[in-house]
Every structure is written in structure tokens, then in C-alpha cells.
Amino acid sequence: MAGIRTARRYIFPAGRFTLGMRASRIIQHANAYLLIAVFLLIALLPVFWMFSNAFKTLEQMRVTFPIQWIPNPVTLENFADGWRARDWLLHLRNTLMLAVFVLIPTMASCILAAYAFARMRFPGSELLMLLNISLMLMPDFVTMVPRYVMMARLGWVGTWLPAIIPSMLALNPAMVFVLRQFFRAIPNELSEAARLDGCNDLVILWRVIIPLSKPILALQVVLITSWAWNDLLFPLLYLKDKSMQTLTLAMMGFIGSRGDTQWGPMMAMSVLVSLPMMALSYYGQRYFTEGFTLTGIKG
Amino acid sequence: MTSPLLSAPQPGLGPAEDPRLPNRLARGRSFRRRMLPFLFLLPWFVGVLTFQAYPILDSFYHSFTIYDVFQPAKWIGVRNYVNLAEHDYTRKALMNTLLYVVVSVPGGLVVGLLQALLLNVKIRGLQLFRTLAIVPGTVPVAGAAAVFLFIWSPSLGLINSFLKALGLPWQQAWLTSPVMVKWVFIVMAIQGGIGMLIFLAGLQNVPQELYDAAKIDGAKSIQTLFKVTLPMLTPYTLFNLLTSLIGAFQMFSGPMLMTGGGPAGGSMFYPQLIYENAFRNFRMGHAAALSWILFVICVVIVVLLFRTSASWVYYEGGN
């Protein structure tokens, strides 16, 4: 045996030898690879199918065996057709506007509240935090109707105010909680040093806490943007006018207006709507893991 | 002063050892400093009162009235609740939602856990697999709705084509069958999603010593799974259970985009029922009653889970 091993070391140079090691590792974990492959195939099939069919003509879409996974020939007609159907750039602008209008005031007010919860001592803080945590678990649908009536009375339906005004009031208990967890983990020494230098709480918040919280704040940017990209209820209630519709609402009309023969343009527009979010999530992935492990859910 | 750093002098931290400094600061700004937290929390307070507490009380009141926004509300006692209990459509939506909760929440948890366990095996290419596993969850709901309409479609759909190719007689118009359509949504909801990521984060936090100790004691891998991994994951399981339960009661966009609740209420789920009552039929009283039932359901779930959690959730370091 030893002889064979030595011989192999002479025959195979170092590179080849590690390749052999790698191969044996792969065999050792064959079960894991097989299961992962099966699960990834199932999970990714719809996504792949969307991309694949966006480039197919209607005749190519009829499923024949073997299945035409990669379209041949490729057509771009679906994209042109789908693009013409609506003013997608307007809907994109509305989506981004919604994201910004919600993001900036929410972040400002939630940072203030989270700082108070994390770094200040006041009577009832534990109880109020418990209230905040219970609000995290309350479905939007519980308060939807009275909120809408309130907005309608104020004449705000069909304006951007229902997005902006509630956002100024820290109406995102999950964000308050997550930021509070993160702020609490920042060492006290840093802010106390700043305090002794004569900084007040706002300066400490701005100069010490916020710069150290960039990962968790980036995560909130990703989360709110993807909310604006995905949410249907809010635009359905408040941004119904054609000039204010977000991408999701526009897609709803687009899907509804298309019959059975229009799958191509539908897949093409799905690809276009999905790509930016997929890219953003890829970028936000590390913030998610980072933010999650740092804030924890073990309380 | 708030910080233990200042009250308990520590060696090596110069300024904190000077007793006059914190005192002067504390006295000079005493009142302002005491009010400051409430100033910071002012937006939050106003938000909770106007957009959380008031709506809940308001819908409690309106659930006992006939109300269509245009005319003042009229008190009718518990008739809304009685009507809802007798109404066929409501019962159907409630049953659909309960079925969805009972099947897809545990299903999603198990699938998410299995995926996380798989993606925790130390193998080559793990990072790539993890990234790929996240991809389906990043597709926006509008895109996903369009694709799944296509996949379940009767003539060109992937599902029916596969069934046909395999010679199975189960091909049908999935989304236009009042019986099948809810199952389509239930099956589609059984996926790891964000729960998988949370389990994965939890798996990173299981101390290696426990696995080593189990190995030394001669535990089989299945024993290690049930005696070490799963108990250590219970805080994450509780979190996932809470969020997915509450999430299941809020399922709205998918059916709204794909079927609009049809056919014949076959894919009508609870949130859409509230929406339809309030904004299609302007029966705000009904909608308010439904909202309140949902509120009570969620409170019961949360209280039950937290009450029982002491007996099945393992927190490291006692507690």
C-alpha cells in the first residue's frame, strides 16, 4: 500500500494530487450533493422557466419532450410587445418614489425611537418595548379599514401623503426593534467618551451610533425598497390612479388584461420587473446575515 | 447617570474616575435629560396612538354598526357577527385560510429546516448553493404570480404537460377549479423562504462542543439531530412559527394577482375578504367585525405560543 501511495505522489504532481483528494471528498458527500441538487432544481425551476419563456415564441412554448430549456431560436419580440403595453418607466418612477417617501421619514423616526429604547433610561421603557414587540405581530389588515377612512376624511387618498405622514411616526415596529437591538450592542464606552467631550445625544446618535450601524441601516434600505416593489395593498388603496401606480399594481393590470395567448410578453415583463430586485437582494444578502446574527432573536 | 461605566469607577478610564464631572452634567441638565427620551419617542407615541390604537378601537365600535362611509354609522348590535357566521362566502374564506395555515405553515417550517440542514453540511461550493437557494425568494410577487399562472395553466402549463407526458390522468384546469385552486396556493406556500435563512443563522450558533461531546458519547447522526440540533434551534423555531403564522393570516397579494379570489370564492382568503367587504361592497361594519376577529385570533396565537414556549423552547444559560 505504502508503495502505491509513494508511487502516486511521484506520478501525479501536487495539483493533480489535490484534485484527487477533492474528488474523494465529493464522493464522501455524494448524498448531500444529490439532495441539494434536487432541492435547487425544484426551487429554481419556476425562475428558470420565466427567463426561458421570455425568449420563446408562442409555438416554442408548447411543451414538447425533450423540453426546450434554452430557447432556440431566441426572440426579443416579447420584450418589445410587453414594453409597449404600458408606461413602465412611469411605474418604475412611482415605485422608487414610494420607496423614498417611506424610507426617509421611517428611518429618521425609527432611529430616534430605537435610540431612546436602547440607550436611555426612562420609566416604562420595558413595557413600551413589549408593546412595540406586540405591534410587530399585528397584521396590517386589522387596522386597514379605519386607517383608510381616516385618510379619506383628510382627503389624502390619491396623494403621496398616506405614504409620507404615517412614516414620520415610526410606524414600523420591526425596524424600531431591530435597530434597538443593534444600538444596544454598540459598546457604551464609545458614546460615553463622546458625552464627556461635551456631545449631546443627537450628536452622539449622528456621529457615533449611525456610522457604526451602517450594515443594519443598509438592510432596512433593502427591506423597504423591496416592500415598495412588492406591496399590493398600499397602492391598491391609495395609489390607484394610473399616473401613481407602482410596478406591482401595473403588473396586476397587465396580467389581468392578457388572455391565454400572451404568455410571452407576460414572462418578458416579469423578467424585467424581477431583475432589479434579484440584484438588490444579492447585494443585500450579506447585510441580512450580518444584521441577523448581530441583532439576534434570542432577545 | 445611565451608564454603569460612570457610576462604578473603573481603573484605567481617566475621566470616569472624576466624581465631579458626571454630577455636574447630571445636575445641570437634569430635567431636560429626563424628558429627552420622551422627546425622542414622541413620533412613535403619536404613531401608536393615531395609527394603531385608535384604528383598533374604531373598528371595534364600527363592528357593531352598519357603515358605508357615506352615511353615518348605525348601531345594530352583534348582527354583523351573526351575519358573518351565517354567510356562506365568509365561512368558505375562513376555512380556506385555516386550511392554508394548518398545512402550509408546518410544511414551510419543515422544508425550511431541511433546506437549512442541507446547506449547513460543510461541502465544496456551499456559498454558491446558498446564494442559489435564496434566488427564488427574491423574485417579486408580481413576477412570481405571472410565472405560476403560466406553470399551472391548463394548455401550455408545465404541470399539465408533465402529467400528460407521464401518462397520469390528473391534468386539469387548476386555477379555474373552485376545489383545486386553494390547494395550488397552499402547495406554492410550502417553501423554505426566509425561514430557511433564519434556521441557517441558528445552525451557525450551535456550539461545536455539543457536537463533539455527542460524538464522544457515540451518538448516531440522527440522535444528534434530535437531541442536540433541534433543541438548540427551538428559539428560531418559535420565531419562525410566530412570523409564518401571522404571515399566513395576511396572505393577500398572490391570490389577488393570480385569481382575484375566484372562481366562486375558491381562492378567497381572509385578508381579501376584509378587502372586498370594505372596498368593493362598502360594508365597513362587516369589514370591521372581520378585522376584530383577526385581531383576536392573532392575540390568541401570540399568547398561546409565548405561554407554552417555556416548556419547549430552550434558551441557553437557563431562563
- Give B277-304 pLDDT, tens digit per residue: 999 989 999 999 999 999 999 999 989 9
Q: Which of A49, A152, A292 sits opposite B151 (nearest CB)?
A: A49
In the predicted structure, residue B9 carries a pLDDT above the cut 50: no
Q: Would you state the torsion angle of the CA atoms of residues A48, A52, A53, A58, taken in this order, to the nearest 10 degrees?
A: -150
Q: A142-182 pLDDT, tens per residue? A: 999 999 999 999 999 999 999 999 999 999 999 999 999 99
**Closest A-chain CA to B150:** A263
Question: Between B93 and A28, whose confidence is greater?
Answer: B93
Q: Do A231 and B129 touch (CB under 8 A)?
A: no
Q: Are strands B65-66 and B74-75 parallel, antiparallel or unpaired?
A: antiparallel
Would an 8 Å CB–CB cutoff place B124 in contact with chain A?
A: yes
In the predicted structure, residue B92 carries a pLDDT above the cut 60: yes
Mean pLDDT estimate for chain B: 85
Q: Which residues pair with B75 in a beta bridge?
A: B65
Rounded CA separation A138/A173 (Å)? 10
- Which residues in chain B have Cβ-Cβ distances shorter than 8 Å to A176? 44
Proportion of chain A above pLDDT 90, given as a percent: 55
Same domain, A47 and A132: no
**Closest A-chain CA to B298:** A138
Among B123, B113, B37, B298, CA closest to A117: B37
Burial state string for B28-58 with b = 16 or more CB within 10 A and e = fewer than 16: eeeeebeebbeebbbbbeebbebbbeebeeb
Same domain, A65 and A93: no
Maximum alpha-carbon separation in chain A: 90
The residue range of the domain holding A165 is 87-295
Question: Between A249 and B11, whose confidence is greater?
Answer: A249
In the predicted structure, residue A209 carries a pLDDT above the cut 90: yes
**Amino acid A73: pLDDT:** 85
Please report which confidence band the pLDDT of residue A28 belongs to, taking 50, 70 and 90 as the band edges: low
Among A69, A73, A76, CA closest to A54: A76
Same domain, A97 and A220: yes
Rounded CA separation A26/A37 (Å)? 13
Residues 6 or more apart whose Cβ sits within 8 Å of residue A159 = A238
Q: Can you give the pTM of this predicted structure?
A: 0.85
**Amino acid A106: pLDDT:** 97
Q: Which of B40, B134, B250 sits opposite A141 (nearest CB)?
A: B250
Domain with CATH 1.10.3720.10 in chain B: 79-138+181-312
Query: What CATH code is carried by the domain that includes residue A248?
Result: 1.10.3720.10
Same domain, A105 and A42: no
Same domain, A124 and A251: yes
**Amino acid B1: pLDDT:** 34
Cβ atoms of residues B257 and A232 within 8 Å:
yes
Same domain, A55 and A94: no
Rounded CA separation A294/A181 (Å)? 8
**Amino acid B15: pLDDT:** 42
Cβ atoms of residues A266 and A258 within 8 Å:
yes
In the predicted structure, residue B32 carries a pLDDT above the cut 80: no
Please report which confidence band the pLDDT of residue B186 belongs to, taking 50, 70 and 90 as the band edges: very high
| Residue of B147, B309, B315 to mutate, testing the A interface (most A Cβ within 10 Å of its Cβ) | B147
In the predicted structure, residue A118 carries a pLDDT above the cut 90: yes
**Amino acid A21: pLDDT:** 54
**Amino acid A295: pLDDT:** 57
At A27, give phi and psi (nearest 5°). Answer: -65, -40
In the predicted structure, residue A10 carries a pLDDT above the cut 80: no
Rounded CA separation B181/B106 (Å)? 20
**Amino acid B28: pLDDT:** 52
Residues 49-88 of A with CB under 8 A from B: 49-50, 53, 61-63, 65
In the predicted structure, residue B57 carries a pLDDT above the cut 60: yes
Question: Between A101 and B28, whose confidence is greater?
Answer: A101
Q: Do A65 and B288 touch (CB under 8 A)?
A: no
**Amino acid B11: pLDDT:** 39
Mean pLDDT of A50-54: 93
Question: Which of the listed residues A57, A82, A107 is the one where a domain comes to its end?
Answer: A82
Identify the top-confidence range among A37-46, A107-116, B182-191, B310-319. A107-116
Proportion of chain B above pLDDT 90, given as a percent: 41
**Amino acid A91: pLDDT:** 96
| Residue of A143, A145, A150 to mutate, testing the B interface (most B Cβ within 10 Å of its Cβ) | A145
Written as nine digits, the cell of B260 is: 382575484
**Amino acid A24: pLDDT:** 59
State the amino acid at position A102 in one-letter form.
Answer: V
Same domain, A130 and A49: no
Residues comprising chain B, all counted:
319
Minimum mean pLDDT among B3-17, B201-215, B224-238: which range?
Answer: B3-17
Same domain, A138 and A173: yes
Rounded CA separation A285/A266 (Å)? 28
Residue carrying C-alpha cell 408545465: B158
Q: Do B41 and A46 touch (CB under 8 A)?
A: no
Would an 8 Å CB–CB cutoff place A139 in contact with chain B?
A: yes
Question: Between A214 and B22, whose confidence is greater?
Answer: A214
**Amino acid A79: pLDDT:** 94
Mean pLDDT of A239-267: 87
Mean pLDDT of B49-54: 94
Same domain, A146 and A242: yes
In the predicted structure, residue B29 carries a pLDDT above the cut 70: no
Same domain, A253 and A178: yes
Q: Do A266 and B146 touch (CB under 8 A)?
A: yes
Would an 8 Å CB–CB cutoff place A219 in contact with chain B?
A: no
In the predicted structure, residue B124 carries a pLDDT above the cut 80: yes
Among A117, A122, A88, A99, CA closest to A235: A99
Would an 8 Å CB–CB cutoff place B179 in contact with chain A?
A: no
**Amino acid A17: pLDDT:** 42
Residues 6 or more apart whose Cβ sits within 8 Å of residue A146 = B54, B55, B56, B58, B59, B62, B288
Proportion of chain B above pLDDT 70, given as a percent: 90
Identify the top-confidence range among A5-9, B99-103, B227-231, B312-316. B99-103
Mean pLDDT estimate for chain A: 85
Would an 8 Å CB–CB cutoff place B268 in contact with chain A?
A: no
**Amino acid B18: pLDDT:** 46
CATH of domain B79-138+181-312: 1.10.3720.10
Please report which confidence band the pLDDT of residue B54 belongs to, taking 50, 70 and 90 as the band edges: very high
Q: A128-143 pLDDT, tens per residue? A: 999 999 898 888 899 9
Rounded CA separation B239/B227 (Å)? 20
Minimum mean pLDDT among A27-31, B16-20, B79-83: which range?
Answer: B16-20
Please report which confidence band the pLDDT of residue B230 belongs to, taking 50, 70 and 90 as the band edges: very high
Cβ atoms of residues A44 and B135 within 8 Å:
yes
**Amino acid A228: pLDDT:** 95
Q: Do A141 and B136 touch (CB under 8 A)?
A: no
In the predicted structure, residue A8 carries a pLDDT above the cut 60: no
Rounded CA separation B105/B94 (Å)? 16
Rounded CA separation B255/B286 (Å)? 21
At B66, give phi and psi (nearest 5°). Answer: -95, 130
At B122, give phi and psi (nearest 5°). Answer: -75, 95
Please report which confidence band the pLDDT of residue B4 belongs to, taking 50, 70 and 90 as the band edges: very low
Q: How many domains does chain A have?
A: 2
Would an 8 Å CB–CB cutoff place B241 in contact with chain A?
A: no
Q: Do A273 and B15 touch (CB under 8 A)?
A: no
**Amino acid B317: pLDDT:** 56
> What do you get for the CA distance between the two ends of chain B, in Å?
29
In the predicted structure, residue A6 carries a pLDDT above the cut 70: no
Q: B244-282 pLDDT, tens per residue? A: 999 999 999 999 999 888 788 888 999 999 999 999 989
Same domain, A33 and A173: no
Residues 5-34 of B with CB under 8 A from A: 5-6, 13, 15-16, 21, 25, 34
Please report which confidence band the pLDDT of residue B3 belongs to, taking 50, 70 and 90 as the band edges: very low
Mean pLDDT of B143-168: 88
Radius of gyration of chain B (CA): 27
Identify the top-confidence range among A65-79, A224-238, B74-88. A224-238
